[in-house]
């Protein structure tokens, strides 16, 4: 039987375990990426491991999330990250150079390599044929120190793309279509591999849009073959030498296959407030919109923005719409500036934002109350825009620009009729304008030994978890529903600047569920912690969807949360919980969820014993009126990490023999 692309790469990188779906495996990581919002913790933890120079082929630290600079925190972070990178042999992409995923694709990604990134959209690299996986910062720190990355050997879902995208239909519509089929839950443990004649016709940036938003499916990663398209892209980036062909075998067998005929695809939208709430743009057209934002790591490539510029040229954005465009990288922005496209955007009334995450992570551009905001991003979780009750729709750049011109959600296929606009097909340039002057090279060993690391006062080393005890007494601090995202647990936006100071950031854990005039989650948790009562979180399906932010485990840990009991828990978040010594438990019988109330007290009498040797644990209500069984789906390594009080202690213990 032939091999899939995924298994070919896994095979070449396997260090521990057997390549069979469901088995725990350890793989070698060739490249890592970190960004500023997860990076400070990742590097602080990296320093705590005691490692000096990174042992990967290449590690890059990006500044792209936190750039607004209200107060000293952001700049303190930037200086710390710049100086620690130089010392540790890490490349550093400075603020303004672009979004990590876009820049990594342009300047560093390499087919057939493995990439681990402390950002859930790391799978963008799958567009260039690399196995690119998102993880918590602690896991990335271990990989930088040369340790393997552990994961469940995935099942492979083949997505066969046939046909060809019609004019005005975009790569974004492909992934939105797939989200309508697979939804955001229930896909843990899969890799999506695209193949077929339709896939062959897509350019690298189009592929990267698809693999990027594959993160919303909750899969381990998504990947395309490395072929002529990849060669063309890398050559245009003056990196022809990084190219190597890699495809699945002709007779590769997938665990499941889904077919999408690109000829039949139409413009799609993810409606509020989930990336899987999909409708065709036709179904929602006519809805007035007051804001259109084009950018983010999903849709801000040169081709995307050139198409937008060409449609805007000689026209003007509707006067009831605020339209902003954030080019994904300095390379893209430079090229738009040099070829005049930027001027077309400006003349059309678009606001140009700097190359970074910006509005996608709630750093400004929050919409007014009750208005429809159209975004080319990948996430529209409730409140992520920074506005409570927001109505954010996720669309392609084609749909976004059409709607910016008309002031209503508009199917871009109607543009020729409405505005006489022909579809501007954008070819990949033969040569991108390359300027790596904002990427700092790591220092030589001699220079590194002398270099000073700058640590502003807002950068605080996080506390280590306390060891778990055999007998645990806990109280349910919150009972939440299904699809709780890490944005619910740990809001970003204006709180993002607190990422390097856990005790401050922890004050806003579950902020969206806090009620005015009542004690906050954090206050209630700290009260319990003082009484040595563990905090328990109870949740429905797909707990911890979305971002890789380990603060969604680190901050609850700081507040004394020791156990999460949910119907199911998403991959990255589950790993983060374990890394920070919070026990992830899944209901053996989901009906037991209904029998639990916030404030209930429970006990576990044999927690350590169960973690050591059992797949189950008995959880008993303190008054003895009810008990239920929780599943412990843990690998041997997970168990050891929990018993060692978290990954940092575990890694130190291992290093000391
Ligand atoms: C996001 O899109 O939510 C983020 C911000 O990029 C996160 C990382 C973070 O919270 O810092 C992600 O996707 O992992
Ligand atoms: Fe940045 Fe948004 Fe991409 Fe996250 S999804 S990396 S916040 S642009």
> Is pLDDT at 390 greater than 90 in this prediction?
yes
Segment 130-179, tens digit of pLDDT:
999 999 999 999 999 999 999 999 999 999 999 999 999 999 999 999 99
Residue 355 banded pLDDT, cuts 50, 70, 90: very high
What residues are annotated to the active site? 64-65, 119, 379, 547, 549
Distance 547 CA to ligand 1 centre (A): 4
Q: Which among 198, 197, 156 has a CA at the least distance from the CA of 177? A: 198
Burial class of residue 311 (count of CB atoms within 10 Å of its CB; 0-12, 13-18, 19+):
buried
Q: For 472-655, CATH number? A: 3.20.19.10
Which residue has the least CA distance to atom 1 on ligand 2? 357
Nearest atom (ligand 2) to Cα of 215 = 5
Which residue has the least CA distance to atom 2 on ligand 1? 547
Segment 441-487, tens digit of pLDDT:
999 999 999 999 999 999 999 999 999 999 999 999 999 999 999 99
Distance 64 CA to ligand 2 centre (A): 9
> Is pLDDT at 51 greater than 90 in this prediction?
no
Segment 237-262, tens digit of pLDDT:
999 999 999 999 999 999 999 999 99
Length of the chain: 657
DSSP-derived letter for residue 271 is P
Cα–chain center distance at 193: 18
Which residue has the least CA distance to atom 10 on ligand 1? 549
- CB of 99 closer than 6 angstroms to any ligand 2 atom: yes
Instruction: Tell me the DSSP string of 357-420.
Output: SGGGGTSS-PPPTT-EEEE-SS--BTTTTSSTT-EEEE--HHHHHHHHHHSB---GGGHHHHH-
Distance 45 CA to ligand 1 centre (A): 18
Burial class of residue 345 (count of CB atoms within 10 Å of its CB; 0-12, 13-18, 19+):
buried
Q: Domain residue spans in the chain?
A: 5-264, 268-419, 472-655
For the segment 642-655, the average pLDDT, to the nearest whole number, is 95
Nearest atom (ligand 1) to Cα of 361 = 5
- CB of 120 closer than 6 angstroms to any ligand 1 atom: yes
> Is pLDDT at 657 greater than 80 in this prediction?
no
Nearest atom (ligand 1) to Cα of 120 = 14
Which residue has the least CA distance to atom 13 on ligand 1? 547
What is the predicted pLDDT for the residue at 506?
A: 98
- CB of 300 closer than 6 angstroms to any ligand 2 atom: no
What is the predicted pLDDT for the residue at 656?
A: 82
Q: Which among 572, 570, 514 has a CA at the least distance from the CA of 541? A: 570
Distance CA 265, CA 368 (A): 32
What is the predicted pLDDT for the residue at 655?
A: 85
- CB of 296 closer than 6 angstroms to any ligand 2 atom: yes
> Is pLDDT at 589 greater than 90 in this prediction?
yes
Q: What are residue 539's DSSP bridge partners?
A: 566
Which residue has the least CA distance to atom 9 on ligand 1? 549
What is the predicted pLDDT for the residue at 122?
A: 98
- CB of 296 closer than 6 angstroms to any ligand 1 atom: no
What is the predicted pLDDT for the residue at 1?
A: 81
Which residue has the least CA distance to atom 3 on ligand 1? 547
What is the predicted pLDDT for the residue at 480?
A: 97
293 alpha carbon, closest ligand: 2
Distance 380 CA to ligand 1 centre (A): 13
Sheet bearing 190-195, strands edge to edge: 221-223, 190-195, 155-162, 256-261
Nearest atom (ligand 1) to Cα of 549 = 10
Instruction: Tell me the DSSP string of 467-480.
Output: PP-SSEEEEEEEE-
Distance 208 CA to ligand 2 centre (A): 13
For the chain, the straight-line distance linking the first and the last C-alpha, in angstroms and rounded, comes to 41
- CB of 361 closer than 6 angstroms to any ligand 2 atom: yes
Mean pLDDT rounded to a whole number for the chain: 97
Distance CA 345, CA 323 (A): 10
- CB of 119 closer than 6 angstroms to any ligand 1 atom: yes
- Degrees (nearest 5) of the Cα angle 424, 428, 430? 130
> Is pLDDT at 42 greater than 80 in this prediction?
yes
Nearest atom (ligand 1) to Cα of 37 = 11
CATH topology of domain 268-419: Aconitase; domain 3 (3.30.499)
- CB of 547 closer than 6 angstroms to any ligand 1 atom: yes
Distance CA 406, CA 418 (A): 9
Q: What are the start-end ranges of the H helices in 242-395?
A: 281-284, 302-312, 330-339, 341-347
- Degrees (nearest 5) of the Cα angle 208, 210, 213? 105
Segment 476-521, tens digit of pLDDT:
999 999 999 999 999 999 999 999 999 999 999 999 999 999 999 9
The fraction of the chain above a pLDDT of 90, given in percent, is: 99
- CB of 357 closer than 6 angstroms to any ligand 2 atom: yes
Distance 216 CA to ligand 1 centre (A): 12
Distance 296 CA to ligand 2 centre (A): 6
545 three-class SS = strand
Nearest atom (ligand 2) to Cα of 101 = 6
Distance 378 CA to ligand 2 centre (A): 8
Residue 327 banded pLDDT, cuts 50, 70, 90: very high
> Dihedral of CA 47/48/54/60: which sign?
negative
Segment 266-306, tens digit of pLDDT:
999 999 999 999 999 999 999 999 999 999 999 999 999 99
Q: How many DSSP H helices and E strands does the chain contain? A: 24, 27
What is the predicted pLDDT for the residue at 119?
A: 98
pTM above 0.95, yes or no: yes
For the segment 295-319, the average pLDDT, to the nearest whole number, is 98
Whether 268-419 shares its CATH topology with 472-655 is answered no
- CB of 551 closer than 6 angstroms to any ligand 1 atom: no
Tokens of 338: 């040099």
For the segment 368-382, the average pLDDT, to the nearest whole number, is 98
Tokens of 414: 């109607």
Q: Does domain 5-264 have CATH number 3.30.499.10?
A: yes
């Amino acid at each position: 039987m032939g091999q899939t692309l995924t298994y070919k790469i896994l095979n070449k990188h396997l260090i521990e375990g057997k390549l069979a779906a469901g088995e725990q495996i350890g793989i070698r990581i060739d490249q890592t990426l970190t960004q500023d919002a997860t990076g400070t913790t990742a590097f602080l933890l990296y320093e705590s491991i005691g490692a000096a120079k990174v042992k990967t082929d290449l590690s890059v630290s990006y500044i792209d999330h936190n750039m607004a600079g209200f107060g000293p925190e952001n700049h303190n972070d930037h200086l710390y990250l710049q100086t620690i990178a130089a010392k540790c042999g890490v490349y550093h992409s400075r603020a303004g150079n672009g979004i990590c995923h876009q820049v990594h694709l342009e300047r560093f990604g390499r087919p057939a390599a493995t990439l681990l990134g402390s950002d859930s959209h790391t799978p963008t690299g799958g567009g260039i044929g690399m196995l690119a996986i998102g993880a918590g910062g602690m896991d990335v720190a271990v990989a930088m120190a040369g340790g393997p990355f552990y994961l469940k050997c995935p099942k492979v879902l083949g997505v066969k793309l046939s046909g060809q995208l019609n004019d005005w239909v975009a790569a974004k519509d492909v992934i939105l279509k797939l989200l309508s089929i697979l939804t955001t839950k229930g896909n843990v443990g899969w890799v999506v591999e695209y193949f077929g004649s339709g896939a062959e016709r897509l350019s690298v940036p189009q592929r990267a849009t698809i693999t990027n938003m594959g993160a919303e499916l909750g899969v381990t990663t998504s990947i395309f073959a490395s072929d002529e398209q990849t060669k063309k892209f890398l050559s245009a980036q003056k990196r022809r030498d990084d190219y190597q062909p890699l495809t699945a075998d002709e007779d590769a067998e997938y665990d499941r296959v889904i077919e999408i005929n690109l000829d039949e695809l139409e413009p799609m939208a993810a409606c509020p407030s989930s990336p899987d709430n999909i409708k065709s743009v036709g179904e929602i057209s006519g809805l007035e919109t007051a804001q259109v934002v084009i950018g983010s790591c999903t849709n801000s490539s040169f081709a995307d923005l050139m198409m937008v510029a060409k449609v805007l040229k000689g026209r003007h954005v509707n006067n009831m719409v605020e339209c902003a465009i954030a080019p994904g990288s300095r390379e893209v922005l430079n090229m738009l500036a040099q070829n005049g496209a930027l001027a077309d955007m400006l003349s059309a009334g678009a606001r140009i934002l700097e190359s970074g995450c910006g509005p996608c992570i709630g750093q400004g551009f929050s919409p007014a109350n009750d208005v429809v905001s159209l975004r080319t991003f990948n996430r529209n979780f409730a409140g992520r825009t920074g506005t409570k009750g927001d109505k954010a729709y996720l669309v392609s750049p084609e749909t976004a620009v059409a709607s910016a011109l008309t002031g209503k959600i508009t199917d871009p296929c109607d543009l020729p009729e409405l505005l006489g606009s022909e579809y501007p097909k954008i070819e990949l340039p033969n040569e991108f304008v390359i300027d790596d002057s904002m990427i700092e090279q790591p220092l030589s060993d001699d220079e590194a030994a002398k270099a000073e690391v700058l640590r502003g006062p807002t950068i605080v080393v996080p506390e280590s978890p306390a060891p778990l005890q055999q007998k645990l007494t806990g109280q349910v601090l919150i009972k939440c529903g299904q699809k709780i995202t890490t944005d619910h647990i740990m809001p970003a936006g204006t709180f993002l600047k607190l990422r390097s100071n856990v005790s401050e950031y922890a004050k806003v854990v579950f902020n969206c569920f806090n009620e005015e005039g009542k004690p906050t989650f954090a206050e209630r948790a700290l009260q319990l912690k003082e009484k040595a009562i563990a905090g328990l979180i109870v949740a429905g399906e797909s707990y911890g969807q979305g971002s890789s932010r380990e603060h969604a485990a680190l901050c609850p840990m700081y507040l004394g949360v020791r156990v999460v009991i949910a119907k199911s828990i998403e991959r990255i978040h589950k790993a983060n919980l374990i890394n920070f010594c919070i026990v992830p438990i899944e209901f053996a019988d989901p009906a037991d969820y209904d029998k639990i109330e916030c404030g209930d007290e429970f006990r576990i009498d044999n927690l350590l014993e169960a973690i050591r040797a059992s797949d189950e644990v008995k959880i008993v209500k303190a008054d003895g009126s009810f008990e239920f069984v929780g599943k412990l789906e843990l690998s041997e390594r997970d168990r050891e990490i929990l018993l060692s009080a978290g990954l940092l202690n575990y890694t130190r213990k291992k290093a000391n023999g």
